[in-house]
A and B are shown apart, each in its own frame.
Chain A
Amino acid sequence: MRKLFVVLAALGLGFLGSAAEYILIGGVAPLSAPGAAESGHEMKLAMEMAVAEINAAGGVLGKEIKLVVEDTRGLPEEGSAAMNRLADMGVVGVVGEFHSAVAKAEIEVAKARKLPFIISEAWADVLTAKQYKYVFRIAPANSLFYTKVADWIRAVGFKNVVAIVENTDWGLGVNGVLERELGTKPNIYGEKVKYTYIVAERTVTDFTPQLLRFKAMRPRPDLIMNIFTGTGEYLIVKQAAEIGLAPTRETAMFAVGTSALYPEFWETVGDYGLFVITKTGYHPILGVTPAIKEFVSKFREKYGRTPTFAAMEAYDSIYTLVKAIEMAKSTDPDDIVAALEKVRHDGVLGTIYFSTEKEPAWMYHQWPGAKAVVIQYTEVGQKYTEALLLWPAILKP
């Protein structure tokens, strides 16, 4: 019975490798709906690219690396199931994830099954604030990143900021940071910033009633924070432009979600995307290291699109994990964790290392080096790497 099961399981998983020949690394990402499959696929491509390169250069500890990427569908229980599947296969560590709610379920499995886990692109503070021994993060914590975005809002001197927020871990997390930062500190002119927000389901397709309401507000809002990802983010940009609300001379449009960096943004919003403001963790002006140049050109050549922040994080996650394994000279989870606490990897996004400070709580095992860059599209169809840099001002050429 048992033998039969093992054969069935091996067939079902399409994988039969013995631990002696390979080092097995797991990946988790949303590859199908209701998850953000666009981002998930991009992360998967980047992970595969990193593994192929490492293997071409001789693998790690003299062995080849095998990567298994599991689909989490953006659902917590699927994520925890995926982590368990990976643990059963005998992976030595896991990288990836995009949705914070899913990552929250996954870190519990990482803890329970002693799996070193580098979170690539889930931002909720709580993920590192739980201070689990096996959990590390390259993606910025919401607090780390959006404090800087709030600095920009205050530095420009916006006074009436409105936000449409998707009711997800990520959306509400961003909203929480902005509410706190803008509510407690004045803008550059010493004025109080008025911050109001509306929360909505991700399934909403007609935002026009609320946008009309913003248009009727007196004084008219000077900045709209579009805290949505995917379809909703595109629809808000489109519908705000259609009713003549933003981007206009009176009101700016800030598309906060990562989807604003994808080529699909232009396919979907067309001319309405002109002068939309967005953010990224990476911009060539931060300094184009050879690593970045190489990564971007390789990724473009291989997959025909410009990689975003998420791809770079996933790519760096794999390299960082492998480097830690190399340092530890072992695949024992505790040795890998000890190595991860000391590792310094010169990656695409910068030198990756993990803080061991416990204050603020989310800083634990967090890469503190993430930059927040605010950019604005100045031409229709522009690549985000060519968009106008607005912040940090100090970097302006």
Chain B
Amino acid sequence: MLEFYLAQVVNGLIVGLIYALMAVGLSLIFSVLKIVNFAHGDCYMIGGFFSYYLATLLGFHPIAAVFVGMLGVMAVGILIHQLLLKPLYTPKVERKGEYAILMTFGIGIFLQNLAMALFGPWTKRPPDFIPGVTKLGFLFIDNNRLVVAGVGIVIMLVLLYVIGRTFIGKALRAVSQDRDAAAIVGVNPVRMNLLAFGIGVGLAGAAGALIGPVFLISPVMGILPGVKSFVIIVLGGMGSIRGAIIASILLGLVESLGSVFFLDPTRGLAYKNAFGVLLLALVLLFKPTGLFGEKFVRLE
């Protein structure tokens, strides 16, 4: 039985790492721009398609395709920011909160339908990173999942380093804490917003690209992971990157174990996607600052 629990925990950890990549991007965007990117799941989806076509049509190595795909999504993010989100910082837009919700939601609808029209509804499978299975004693782990976990960890460590140790990171943090003060000391907040949005959706794109060989890609692949990353940033405390990572792994574990220990085992899997959203609803109601007690950020 111990083997069984261990296998479940390992599976939950790997799934959690995938969630973390996405959710960290969403959290970064929220902490700097103070908006929730409702198109996050769709950025994840286009990441998947970019790397799929890079690998199958242009012959990129699957792992190289992930990184190039991530850059592609970043470029899309920069475009979105410059064309559609920049008005947020001008007095021209009334009710900035409403504008941000509707705009990002609209972008999501657009991207999803565009993908459906361009690529068709079919499920596609990108090539394996490394085919086969690794056996660790009684544990069987798909090599693709190991690559996902490895690359995910690397990307996250780089991100944490950039944010924690570099000048850019300091500037980002400064803007997230106090825009005006940051501007006074010479940090251009709009440029930091652009940077945060680009990196944020780029991370979602990387997650989508990495997940391709494991869960396959399709135009609607982003809906559920999108909702899950909302769950995670609320659980982890909106805008907290550390919180997002912990909450992601927690959610991965809850889903993995929860659907197995559900009261009625025949329906555990049917309710699997509800666990996260139920947690979200409860946390929002009882502890809106998130499980780890970061500062509650309110939108203007």
Taking Cβ atoms with an 8 Å cutoff, the residues of A that contact B are 32-35, 37-38, 164, 167, 196-201, 203-210, 212-213, 215-216, 230-231, 234-235, 239, 241-244, 264, 267-268, 270-271
Contact = CB atoms under 8 A, between A and B. Distances in A.
17 contacts: A34-B121, A37-B122, A198-B268, A200-B269, A201-B269, A209-B8, A209-B11, A210-B259, A213-B265, A231-B216, A234-B123, A239-B142, A242-B141, A242-B145, A243-B7, A243-B140, A267-B125
Given A167-B270, A230-B123, 8 more contacts: A33-B220, A35-B121, A198-B265, A206-B215, A209-B269, A210-B259, A210-B268, A268-B216
A178 to B, nearest CB: 14
Nearest to B133: A242
Nearest to B223: A203
B140 A199 contact: no
Contacts of A203: 223-224, 273
B131 interface: yes
B220 A208 contact: no
Contacts of A235: 215-216
B240 interface: no
Contacts of A199: 266-267, 269-270
B140 A197 contact: no
Interface string B114-128: 001000111101001
A279 B257 CA distance: 33
B266 A197 contact: yes
A213 B260 contact: yes
Interface in B74-131: 116, 120-123, 125, 128, 131
B11 A212 contact: yes
A110 B116 CA distance: 31
A212 B4 contact: yes
Contacts of B256: 206, 208-209
Contacts of A264: 122-123
A203 B225 CA distance: 11
Contacts of B259: 209-210
Given A197-B266, A205-B215, A270-B131, A37 B260 contact: no
B216 A207 contact: no
A229 B259 CA distance: 21
Given A37-B122, A205-B216, A207-B269, A216 B131 contact: no
Interface string B270-288: 1011000000000000000
